[in-house]
Amino acid sequence: MLSGQNWLSVTTTGGPLSTDLYELTMMAGYYSAGFTGQATFELYVRSLPPNRSYLVAAGLEQALDYLEQLHFDRDDIAHLRTLPGLERIRADFFDEYLPRFRFTGDAWAVPEGTPVFPPEPLLRITAPMPQAQLVETALLAVIGFQTSVASRAARAVDAAAGRPVADFGARRAHGLEAGVLAARAAFLAGCESTSNVDAGRRFGIPVTGTMAHSWVMAFPDELSAFCKYADIFGDAVMLVDTYDTEHAVRSIAASGLRPRAVRLDSGDLVALSRRVRSLLDAAGLRDTGIVVSSDLTEQRIADIVAVGAPIDGFGVGGALSTASDAPALGAIYKLVEIERDGVAVPIMKLSPGKQSYPGRKAIYRRVEHGLAIEDTMELDGDPPAAAGGPLLERVMEQGRRTGPRRPLIEMRARCLAAVNALPRDVRQIRDAASYPVRLGERLRQTIDRLSHAHR
């Protein structure tokens, strides 16, 4: 296994122009206005999407890669000069500022794989205003996407109650890069493996695969397809639903083949798995497992597990790789503090239904007897009494990572433990309870003060 050296660089497709125009015009505007003091932004989600009672933070590794690699090459700058709005900007912005541009800020974040609850910040950036502004779009896309996938995957893994869940989502992903990043987030959140070979290579994730319907269809009859497959691949997983599942299993049994498992990909998976289990057992194929796929979600997995269907593993596709029930998480990146005349001032937006939380914040999680009890979000500073340990840690200082990359397999183990430490009722697949997030005293006073200042 790789230990994370070989990561997917988001800048292969991204880079400084992979952003909204307004990030670049704002940056130019701040530069032109001499607004280059420190600003602090926090990235968070306003509220949980439907079917979620917690989120799992993910994508930080790629976000830090983006920040470390960010720069403008000659072609980028030439293109920027042509953009609407930017034609009015002074030449020194293009000639002096952009060629030397690097991200030199600091970042704090909750470690990847940590369960978080809106509106807790997943990431906080403090940097000169033009820099802190520019990175908004990319950070939201990179962290928002992987966080959506990890949050869905954690539920699927939990629903499977110990049976392995494999990511089969590459073909449903939003392009090839998205498939690789989804596989990473799904593994981080507890999936056992991925079908995505590129993700396996880049991130050291175990890869798995079975058989395609086309293999069965390519042969004049199904049994020849299975026999040839066993000739070539040995005790593999055989796909038995192309024509008639029970007929296929009977012919496998009668032929003396001993597949490692059979895969069901259509029909009533519970009823079918029971009949197939009986057929396999009757033929002495007790070691042949049954794995299923076919538009699975955590709800379907929970139902299958609840009725005790003899199913040994799940392959989940688009539900993971597109986080299909909540594909747009709605992460936001809001200015919370700005330097004015050398003094850091907390800031708050008051738009109806879209208020922000002012000031640099810390999150504390109180854990008792191995169970998370309550989070407190408070202005950074002295922690409230008995609030528990802080979740945000410093991950970047002056534009450089503060520590080595964490191996994905370690982050996965931490994620599984942290999700297991959430209250049972918060982890329920349906009708989950809410987890309490308190606002600290200093934060509440600041909100009150700023809400009135603009009335």
Which is nearer to a second copy, 246 or 374 (by Cβ)? 246
Site for a second copy in 310-329 (CB under 8 A): 317-319, 321-324, 327-329
Question: What minimum distance in Å lies between the beta carbon of 286 and a second copy?
Answer: 23
**What's the number of CA atoms in the CB half-sphere (13 Å) around residue 43?**
31
> Residue 249 and residue 261: Cα distance in Å, rounded?
11
Q: Residue 101: how many CB atoms within 10 A of its CB?
A: 20
CB of 356 to a second copy, least distance (A): 8
- As a whole number of angstroms, the distance between CA 363 and CA 376 comes to 6
Element (H, E) at 148: helix 136-159
- Residue 160 interacts with a second copy (CB under 8 A)? no
Which C-beta is closer to a second copy: that of 114 or that of 210? Answer: 210
- Answer for which of 104, 111, 164, 197 binds a second copy (CB under 8 A) is 197
Tell which residue, 123, 108, 129, has the closest CA to residue 37: 129
Within residues 365-394, the interface with a second copy by CB under 8 A covers none
The total of other beta-carbon atoms located within 10 Å of residue 208's CB is 18
Q: How far is CA 113 from CA 38, 57, 110, 263, in A?
A: 29, 5, 8, 30
**Kind plus residue range of the DSSP H or E element containing 100:** helix 98-100
By CB under 8 A, tell whether 147 contacts a second copy: no
Nearest to 284, CA basis, from 310, 247, 319, 258: 258
Shortest distance (Å) from residue 25 CB to a second copy? 6
Shortest gap between Cβ of 6 and a second copy (angstroms)?
A: 11
Residue 442's SS3 state is: helix
Of 50-58, 96-104, 111-119, 341-349, which segment contacts a second copy by CB under 8 A?
341-349
Among 353, 370, 403, 404, binds a second copy (CB under 8 A): 353
- Counting every residue, how long is the chain? 455
Using CB under 8 A as the binding rule, the residues of this chain from 73 to 132 that contact a second copy are 79-80, 83-85, 88-89, 129
Q: Answer whether 260's CB lies under 8 Å from 226's CB.
A: no
Closest CA to 132 of 26, 21, 15, 13: 26
Kindly tell me which of 80 and 372 has the beta carbon lying closer to a second copy: 80
342 near a second copy, rule: CB under 8 A: no
Nearer to a second copy by C-beta: 32 or 420?
32
Residues between 238 and 277 that touch a second copy (CB under 8 A): 241-244, 265-267
Binding footprint of a second copy, residue count (CB under 8 A): 112
Q: Which residues inside 40-79 make contact with a second copy, applying CB under 8 A?
A: 41, 79
Instruction: Based on the shown chain and the rule CB under 8 A, indicate whether residue 7 belongs to the binding site for a second copy.
Output: no
Check if the beta carbon of residue 88 is closer than 8 Å to that of residue 94.
Answer: no
**Applying CB under 8 A, does 182 fall inside the site for a second copy?**
yes
From 106-114, 119-127, 172-180, 364-372, span contacting a second copy (CB under 8 A):
172-180
What are the structure tokens assigned to 71, written together? 């720069």
Return d(Cα 85, Cα 431) in angstroms, integer: 49
Taking the complex as a whole, the smallest distance from the CB of residue 243 to a second copy amounts, in Å, to 5
Q: Which of 57, 180, 392, 396 binds a second copy (CB under 8 A)?
A: 180
Q: Is the Cβ of residue 129 or residue 415 nearer to a second copy in the bound state?
A: 129
Q: Would you say 181 or 372 has its CB closer to a second copy?
A: 181
CA angle 285, 288, 292 (to 5 degrees): 135
Within 13-32, the residues that bind a second copy by CB under 8 A are 13-15, 17-26, 28-30, 32
Binding mask 416-445 for a second copy (x = CB under 8 A): ------------------------------
Residue 448 interacting with a second copy (CB under 8 A): no
d(CA 62, CA 125): 15
Q: Does 351 bind a second copy (CB under 8 A)?
A: yes
CB nearer to a second copy: give 19 or 114.
Answer: 19
Q: What residues numbered 287-306 form the site for a second copy, per CB under 8 A?
A: 295
Query: CA–CA separation, 325 vs 451, rounded Å?
Result: 34
Which residues, 6+ apart, have CB-to-CB distance to 61 below 8 Å? 4, 7, 112, 405, 406
